[in-house]
Amino acid sequence: MEKLRINYPIIVEGKYDKIKILSVADACVIQTDGFGVFKNSERLALIRKLAEKDKIIVMTDSDGAGKLIRSHITSAIPRDKLIQLYIPQIEGKEKRKQAPSAEGYLGVEGTEVDIIRRLLEPFASESEACGEHAEITKLDFFELGLTGKDDSSTRRDELAVAIGLPRKMTANALLAAVNVLMDRDKLYSVMESL
C-alpha cells in the first residue's frame, strides 16, 4: 500500500513510534525521547519553531506517561497549531518488550498499521511531504564552518538565532533542526547573509 504524504510534522515519544509512523507515511517525525522533552530545551525549541510554520500533529501513547508528554507539548504550543491524534487504549504488549507497559496498553509502536493509517488519512496531501528534500549533511556543516573550525560554535549560534532557535545547540541537534526547517539551498543562503 502506498504511503501517505503528511505535510504536518508528527511528534511521537520514541524511535520505535517513529519507525511505526514512517512505515505508513512519508512525514517529518520528531521524537520527544519520552520524558527527555522535559529536559531537552533544544527539542522543545524545534517543536515550537515547527509550530510557527504550520500545525503539528501530536501522537503519544494513551497511557499516563503519554498524557504527561502531550500536556507538556500542549502547554508550549498555541492550541490552534496543534492537531491532537489519539490512539485507542488496547491492552497488550509490544513484540520487542518482555512485559507490557505499567498500565498494560499498547503504545503507538504496538498499534496496528491500519489504525495509524486511519488516524493520519485526513491529513494526507498530494504535495511534497514535510521535510522531503535533499538531506543537509555534516559535510555541508563543515563546508559552512559550522563544525571543525575554531569559530564553529559561534557560527552555529549565529545560524540558530537567525532561524529562531536557541543558542548553544550541539552540532547534531542543529543539523537535525535545519533538516526539518529548510533545504540545502536555503541553508547556504542564510549562511551567506550572516
Q: What is the pLDDT of residues 157-179, one digit of tens each?
A: 999 889 888 788 888 888 888 88
pTM score: 0.76
Residues with Cβ within 8 Å of residue 142, at least 6 apart in sequence: 148
Would you identify the CATH topology of the domain 4-123? Dna Topoisomerase Vi A Subunit; Chain: A, domain 2 (3.40.1360)
pLDDT at residue 132, as a whole number: 58
Buried b (16+ CB within 10 A) or exposed e, 136-160: beeebbeebbbbeeeebbebbbbbb
pLDDT at 131 over 60: no
Sorted by sequence, the CB contacts under 8 Å of residue 45 that are 6+ apart come out as 165, 166
Given this model, what pLDDT does residue 85 score? 94
Determine the pLDDT at residue 133: 63
Confidence of residue 181 (pLDDT cuts 50, 70, 90): confident
Q: What is the pLDDT of residue 81?
A: 94
pLDDT tens-digit readout, 45-91: 889 988 988 899 999 998 889 999 999 999 999 999 999 999 988 88
Which residues of the chain does CATH 3.40.1360.10 include? 4-123
Confidence of residue 111 (pLDDT cuts 50, 70, 90): very high
Which band of pLDDT confidence, cut at 50, 70 and 90, is reported for residue 25? very high
Which pLDDT does position 59 carry in this prediction?
96
Question: Rounded to the nearest 5°, which phi and psi values hold at 165?
Answer: -110, 165
Query: 133 or 102: which carries more pLDDT confidence?
Result: 102
Take residue 13 and report the three cell numbers written for it. 515519544
